[in-house]
Chain A
């Protein structure tokens, strides 16, 4: 199978102060995979995503999206930040947050119109949040807030989706709803990259995986590389995981 490379990372090194958080990362993510990034706390998983998206400035290395620099390819990329990164008491509604997904294609100054509103409502419907569209965002549960973030990314109608711990703090129902949407995205040929914490669900949810702990430990199909050896290398302890067939 010879797939196009959606995301390519070369020699990426990121440091806070003097301490490297990511060290010389080379990574190729083929188009159409649903990939988990796993690793212990402080392994640089979020940092990797943020550096690819240009939120953080790496001290070395480069990133390309479909062979071109990220600056030229923004429209192809959508981002779901960690839920805890924003203030949910902000005075705005669920629909308003989802509309923000259209702001990138609108550009400066232009206001969202009916077309943008329709896109946002469709996305809300997809994540099952349409009845809550006018709800003040602080009155949503954690799982609902996560769905709102997901809907905002769906509105961006991108080819590549980066998600930072979308399953954090959500209940089983929401987790299933979210993973179903991610699988649908993959089916539509999109590439989905997810920072993930629950190792047990990796084989069930994802077809591609990257092990990260400051350095890249391994990357590839889950069925080939998701094994005790790589887990031990990544987490530093003797790890045994029962892979469900």
Chain B
């Protein structure tokens, strides 16, 4: 199938359109909210919440005996919220650090959830098959109403974000200061956290308990590399998340036997990898290039400065000197000399060198700059 054919299919095929839209919206909302989790250094919060949602799904099934996805996700929402507030409680009431609290709740709830799932599987009820799809997600089960649900939650989330933008930003940067201004930091905190829980629960059906946290982290981590503005970061994270959804769906739809959730997560990770390497200000590649360039410049400048000190003792600055003199200078190599010739700073004649006017000027500027820096 070629690309145009596929794009055509996205718009005409019901299932493909639903899944593409669903994963794109999901990626956008988790990317957006994930930025807040990452900046609060609560990257693992998403992991804990998604795992904490599992017993809720199982209990909702045990109570209703039906596999209606809305009912199951309501169960997931309740147990996710309980897990989250227990985490908060542990952090504020005890002296345990947040990573410990997250780990505790994650394993406790997940263990309990798995226990309930195995219990359900032993039940003589044909209905229970397929509950385990919440572990790894199954995008194919998305229907139009699920997508509507995601769109509505995303819309509300966007409105809340815009309304309380200033409060969110200040709380993320400096919680104590926010408190002294009279803002109820608990309210703001609960608002953010509740939306993170909601977004995660919505994604369980598609991506699953185990991989859901990647949807929260990866787009945000990638976006952080490209900008130093919170607004742009949240926007970029939403875009990266949505693109991960679209491309992930495309890859899994065009290949056989590739489950959508994991593919989306892998695409999101590719965004992270590319951002880590190629971001102009924070990326590894440009950092290395800047480092090498600085080192090369320094070598060149040191040689030039050495020549300048010799040349300035003569009345005629272009008076030729023997290359041997330069051997006394440690940083000197033939390569640097060639580069200086190339820049028209130096003229070579036989085994003599002389500074050009341009070279002399550049070297004296170097000296002045140095002095300015020292002052």
Contact = CB atoms under 8 A, between A and B. Distances in A.
A136 B226 CA distance: 13
Interface stretch (B98-106, B162-170, B324-332): B162-170
Given A91-B230, A93-B229, A81 B166 contact: no
Contacts of A172: none
B161 interface: no
Interface string A17-50: 1000000000000000000000000000000001
Interface stretch (A1-9, A101-109, A176-184, A225-233): A101-109
A97 interface: yes
Nearest to B182: A74
Contacts of B181: 74, 103-104
B374 interface: no
A87 B180 CA distance: 18
B285 to A, nearest CB: 20
A108 B173 contact: no
Contacts of B163: 109
B174 A104 contact: no
A81 B182 contact: no
A187 B176 CA distance: 28
Interface residues of A, number: 30
B170 A103 contact: yes
Contacts, number: 76
B173 A87 contact: yes
Nearest to A105: B181
A77 interface: yes
Contact of A81 (B41, B174, B183, B228): B174
Contacts of A237: none
Q: Is the interface of B mostly helix, strand, loop or mixed?
A: helix
A108 to B, nearest CB: 7
A114 interface: no
A108 B173 CA distance: 17
A104 B179 CA distance: 10
Contacts of A109: 163-164, 166-167
B166 A103 contact: yes
B39 interface: yes
B177 A100 contact: yes
Interface of A: 17, 50, 53-55, 71, 74, 77, 79, 81, 85-87, 90-93, 96-97, 100, 103-104, 106, 108-109, 111-112, 136, 138, 152
Interface of B: 39, 41, 95, 163-167, 169-170, 172-174, 176-183, 224, 227-230, 232-233
Given A81-B174, A90-B230, A108-B167, 8 more contacts: A74-B181, A77-B180, A91-B230, A92-B173, A100-B173, A104-B183, A111-B165, A112-B166
